[in-house]
Amino acid sequence: MLRKLLFATALVSVLGSGAASAETINMWVRSGIGDSFKEVVKAYNAAREDKVELTEVPFSELVQKYATAIAGGQAPDALSLDLIYTPAFAAAGQLEDMTDWAKSLTYFKSLSPSHVKLGTYEERIYGLPLLVETSIFAWNKGLYKQAGLDPEKAPTTWEEITANAEKIRALGDNTYGFYFSGGGCGGCAIFTFTPLVWGAGADILSEDGKTATLDTPQMRKAIDIYRNLVAKDTVPAGAASDNGVNFLSITNGKIGQQSLGAFAIGTLVTKHPEIDFGVALIPGVDGKPSSFAGGDNFVVTKGTPKLSAVKKFIEYTYSMEGQEIMAKYGSLPTRGDIADDVLKGLDPRLNVAKDAIAVAKTPYTLQFNDLINSANGPWATFINAAIFGNDVDGAFENAQSEMQSIIDAAQ
């Protein structure tokens, strides 16, 4: 499979180099990236002499495949990399330093700050924003109406959300007030749950990423809020063992409220038009909202001969034209300065997700997989143990010490 793939890309690059001055860039994207980027590439290939050859790689195997391709000298010119992996790849010395060029872009300062921060390693820039995704809070207006709540009023505190959840749960057997994937889905929890503590000024890692700071009053409060939602039976029993497969439970129409990603707005609008929903920022434990900025970074393989062609393509995706195509297919604008123009005429709820960029955070760590994303990592275990278990103190203690030991082992 891999060899076939490499052979195909090699063949394409041979053919590409034969044709006059036009160049073909080989680029890998992870599966599940959605249509927005593919549409940009389609438009670019149709309008320009240079071509971009996309290869889709299963998202769970991207890191292994890229590493083996580098070892075999067959790496693609560029890669769309889940932004949390950028520091690890940059630290391994496999990416092209783009600092000077990036800073020469007139709109550099308005590029999604979280992406640029994650793309920066030891003061040099290796990754630039490609896809932007933020977490938001959504509620089902139909269920709000049935429960006698004002469907147009977004809840702004967790007390309000909890009260609403109870009223919606009172509607009957299979209708629930709240949902989250609480069974070993670290990625889901970092995306939808940490905004509760970020909004209140706390974080799970120190600024330099070298100390675990899990046990804070804010985190205790956030855990209490979720425990209370579970104790009051407003969350379906399946949440305790959902490893992320049912993350989009709100689409079944029986969930009153849920924290989601911006991509879910696209899914709900296009695939579940029967669900009328509202969107707001996720409140922190003290009411101040926050969000998780995720998505993909553009990275370039060190030493690629097609650097200038790659740069031209990146500039195209940052142009008004490129940004508009991406937004149309559900990805938020990466440039803050033209975001309002880009989103004009699209679903207004995308604006909430766009505004979230300004308050959004992303933890910076080289051990993101180990600490957060792994189903067996300390963070995923902590979420399950602290929210569904009987020993909250023990859960805090274990997770704090295991996170610290993973960080220390990697230094």
Partner 1 sequence: MPRRGVFTFLPRLQQSEGDPMTMPAIASLPARKRRRRSSGWLGLAYIAPAIALVTVFFVLPVLFTLWMSLHRWPLLGAPRWIGLGNYLRMFDDARFLAALGFTTHYTVVVTIAIFAIAFPLAFFVEKQRPLVSIYRTVIFLPVVVGLASASLLWVWLANVDSGLLSPVLQMLGLTERRLNLLATFDTAFLTVIVMVVWKIAGFTMIILLTGLQAIPTELTEAARIDGARPWQRFRHLTLPLMRRTLALALILSITGSILAFDQFYIMTSGGPQNRMISVVYYIFNQSFVSFNLGYGAALSIALLVILVLISVVQLWLLKVGGERP
404 is an interface residue for partner 1 by CB under 8 A:
no
Reading the block at residue 142, the tokens are 């139909």
Site for partner 1 contains 181 (CB under 8 A): no
Task: Pick the binder of partner 1 from 381, 396, 403, 407 (CB under 8 A).
Answer: 381
- CB closer to partner 1, 218 vs 384: 384
Pairing, β 78-82 against β 291-300: antiparallel
140 close to 256: Cβ distance less than 8 angstroms: yes
- Binding letters toward partner 1, positions 302-341, x by CB under 8 A: ----------------------------------------
Q: Which of 205, 299, 385, 403 binds partner 1 (CB under 8 A)?
A: 385
310-336 burial by CB neighbour count: b if 16+ within 10 A, else e?
Answer: bbebbebbbeeebbbbbbbebbbbbbb
Q: Which of residues 82-121 bind partner 1 (CB under 8 A)?
A: 88-89, 92-94
State the binding string over 359-378 for partner 1 (x if CB under 8 A, else -).
Answer: ----------xx---xxxx-
Site for partner 1 in 201-240 (CB under 8 A): 236-238, 240
Q: How many CB atoms lie within 10 A of CB 6?
A: 20
**Cα–Cα nearest to 396, from 385, 411, 406:** 385
List Cβ neighbours of 341 (8 Å cut-off, separation of 6 or more). Answer: 320
- Which of 17, 64, 270, 308 touches partner 1 by CB under 8 A? 64
Contacts of 308 (CB under 8 A, 6+ apart): none
**Site track for partner 1 across 134-173, x = CB under 8 A:** ----------------------------------------
Close Cβ partners of 301 (under 8 Å, ≥ 6 residues apart): 70, 75, 76, 77, 78, 79, 94, 95, 96
Alpha-carbon distance values, 42 to 35, 82, 298, 318, 325 (Å) = 10, 21, 17, 15, 10
- Residue 208 CB, shortest distance to partner 1, in Å, is 21
Q: Which is nearer to partner 1, 111 or 385 (CB)?
A: 385
Nearest residue (CB) to partner 1, 299 versus 327: 299
Pick 106 or 376: Cβ nearer partner 1: 376
Q: Which is nearer to partner 1, 324 or 402 (CB)?
A: 402
Nearer to partner 1, 229 or 343 (CB): 229
Query: Between 17 and 60, whose beta carbon lies closer to partner 1?
Result: 60
C-beta of 308 vs 405, nearer to partner 1: 405
The amino acid sitting at 330 is G
Site mask for partner 1 (CB under 8 A), range 243-262, x = bound: x-------------------
| Binding flag, residue 67, partner 1 (CB under 8 A) | yes
Q: How far is the CB of 167 from partner 1 (least distance, A)?
A: 20
Least distance to partner 1, CB of residue 254, Å: 10
What does the alpha-carbon distance between residue 55 and residue 306 come to, in Å, rounded to a whole number?
Answer: 17
- Name the residues that contact partner 1, by CB under 8 A: 63-64, 67, 70, 88-89, 92-94, 183-184, 236-238, 240-241, 243, 369-370, 374-377, 381, 384-385, 388-389
